[in-house]
Chains A and B, each alone.
Chain A
Amino acid sequence: KNEVEQSPQNLTAQEGEFITINCSYSVGISALHWLQQHPGGGIVSLFMLSSGKKKHGRLIATINIQEKHSSLHITASHPRDSAVYICAVRSRTSGSRLTFGEGTQLTVNP
């Protein structure tokens, strides 16, 4: 079993829908990251969080440390949100190293 599990693996939505991507992890962590990878391959960091909730534009990330679970929400989804969304954790014992989930492929249709 991977240390970081994401669900769903693939997600197709209609423009305007509310989207949720989930991430579960099995180790004690010091931080969790959400990343976005576009078709060309470039990766952008969206959030780093260790507790609570963060919001940036239409994106919201939440984390529940006790349940070892995080969610990434996208409100009013748009075709330009189509990308792979990746969850990564920094465990308390790994220093600066990250462990990555396999990613969720999101496709938003107009």
Chain B
Amino acid sequence: DGGITQSPKYLFRKEGQNVTLSCEQNLNHDAMYWYRQDPGQGLRLIYYSQIVNDFQKGDIAEGYSVSREKKESFPLTVTSAQKNPTAFYLCATGEIGNIQYFGAGTRLSVL
């Protein structure tokens, strides 16, 4: 079953807690991306990675961290420094310069 798997589908964060969103792909794509979507706004880039062991900040990286230890995996940690984490988070993959394929998303809420 090929594609992009994001988990969990729904996630709740307590005050001061770090939470990690998973993104796994078996499409053998080099590039992976994390986006945040808020109501009435376009998708905004948090972090992206074009190769294993390397990643770059996007437009709204503050309060988030990532790692890219394996080609298949690009987890996103929402740290306690992110004061407004409630949003829909989308992971995408693709070959550089080509179309991007999106996961089903994780909806994060604060308790």
Q: Which residues of A contact B (CB under 8 A)?
A: 2, 4, 30-31, 33, 35, 40-45, 48, 86, 88, 90, 95-103
CB of A75, distance to nearest CB on chain B (Å): 23
16 residue pairs of the A-B complex, CB under 8 angstroms, read: A4-B42, A33-B100, A40-B104, A41-B88, A41-B105, A43-B102, A45-B99, A45-B100, A86-B42, A86-B43, A95-B96, A96-B96, A97-B48, A98-B43, A100-B44, A102-B41
Q: Is B80 close to A, CB under 8 A?
A: no
Interface string of B79-108 (1 = CB under 8 A from A): 000000000101010101111111111010
Interface of A is mostly: strand
Q: Which residue of B lies closest to A103 (CB)?
A: B42
A97 and B40 alpha carbons, distance in the complex (Å): 21
State whether A102 touches B42 (Cβ < 8 A).
yes
Check A48–B96 contact: CB distance below 8 A: no
Residues of B within 8 A of A (CB): 31, 40-45, 48, 50, 58, 88, 90, 92, 94, 96-105, 107
User: Does the CB pair B104–A30 fall under 8 Å?
Assistant: no
Q: Are B43 and A100 in contact (CB under 8 A)?
A: yes
Number of A-B residue pairs with CB-CB distance less than 8 Å in the complex they form: 54
A-B pairs, 5 with minimum CB distance = A100-B42, A43-B102, A41-B105, A100-B43, A45-B99
Indicate if the CB atoms of B41 and A41 lie closer than 8 Å.
Answer: no
Question: A96 to chain B: which residues have CB within 8 Å?
Answer: 31, 48, 50, 94, 96-97
Give A43's nearest chain B residue, CB to CB: B102
Instruction: Give the chain A neighbours of B31 by CB distance below 8 A.
Output: 96
CA distance A98 to B94 in the complex (A): 12
